[in-house]
Structure 1
């Protein structure tokens, strides 16, 4: 498909202006695709497989979802809808960002195939747009839009990087047939040899002194998230505290221009 032929999936009407009511919906197709990907991996979610799942003809589904890229866009946006941003901003920016980070991590863990989706460019589906409005609204009264983008990107980078490693490790363990303690026990003789060699003092310090590697995945995530949120706090004005002002204009009237304006 050429650039001239491309039409964003969200710009394509789901129902024709005239004619009979469609037999299926994008939501129905997307739900089936997500179920298949959850059970069998993203590559299994083909149009033929989805059609069999919902009892349709494979070619007929292209009337609703014209391409594989469109299907991935629909699936990714569907997953973003699982992240609860109700009542955000709430007035407590740290609590809001913590809730978002927990929701994003939980979504990735429920649907680990999302780690194989290589999409850097946003498609701005309805769930993603709602997420942008609510999530970036949390810091909007405190910082410029550019600083807001940077802080949210840092938070997303931490969560996605951490959970991507978590998903990858779980998959490696699954393939090995070992539990994490069993895998560590199997690695112990080589690690012990490295430590006793005296050639790797920093690695030895990690093995003998570091507490973090022995924490649960949950505690490791909490530990890192606290540091990210502490850094975000340094980028906010002292007036931010944990309370969200009613509006940027109201705060500017009392305290001067908003930071980053």
Structure 2
């Protein structure tokens, strides 16, 4: 069944439409200003707080006036995601030309941006960004692994693996923070509440590795920064091991 038969139609990319309608009164704000306001609201209250009515109220405009700039909330979210995309990659001046150092910088910048804008973490997986900033950021990321003997698919796989690691790690961080916020407890208080049950499990003697984890774990990787760096290093080690040998055939990533 074709698109005309089932009534579906692809939404036009927001950047293919003019900034505002050619007719009508001159607008009192820009698309960029509207996007900046929406990001500020989402940072403070989450993506669920975003609506055309809310953003219009924040700007001091009628809701219908927003439709002179965008077709609806989906366009607004696309603009928000693209505006934040510039924060995901290191500056041009900080790039070293060494793929491992630069990918590490990409991971660190991406995590920092997601923690500043928590609403972006799930969108990084669920929403493909084809805006100008997103495309420029992807171009810069791909340059980090250019010249390693990889095909473009291999290069995309490497960048995607780093992005997936960062996204998963950050979403776990945010989920833990949100769970603690809802409980009203500190981490130490929450753990104290779990202690009687954990002690009963250990006393049963059925889970020796879990017992070791409780009694011996947490000595080396005690905070998020350490755990993030450790996992990232292991990922980069794996990528390095699969790179094509100099002058030899590709090894799994091409």
**How high is the TM-score relative to the length of structure 1?**
0.85
Contact 2:82–2:133 (CA under 8 A) maintained in structure 1: yes
Q: Which runs of 4+ in 1 moved over 6 A?
A: 256-261
Offset of 1:5 from its aligned partner?
6.3
| Residue correspondence of structure 1 range 1-261 to structure 2 within 5 A | 3-4=8-9, 6-16=11-21, 21-87=26-92, 90-117=96-123, 120-142=126-148, 143-211=150-218, 215-239=222-246, 255=247
> 1 CA distance for matches of 2:249 and 2:202?
56
Moved more, 213-222 or 15-24: 15-24
- Quote the Cα distance in structure 1 between the aligned partners of 2:212 and 2:28: 63
Which piece of structure 1 moves more, 122-131 or 167-176?
A: 122-131
Question: Matched residue pairs, number?
Answer: 246
Superposed CA offset, 1:17-68 (max 9, x none): 5776432211111111111111122111211111111111111101112111
Q: Which runs of 5+ in 2 are unaligned?
A: none
- Matches of 2:185 and 2:141 in 1, distance apart? 39
- Following the alignment from structure 2 to structure 1, what is the Cα–Cα distance between the partners of residues 227 and 188? 17
**Which of 113-122 and 166-175 deviates more?**
113-122
Using CA pairs below 8 Å that are at least 6 residues apart, which structure has the higher relative contact order? 1
- RMSD (CA atoms): 2.5
2:81 touches 2:129 (CA, 8 Å); kept in 1? no
Structure 1: tracts of 5 or more residues without a match: 240-254
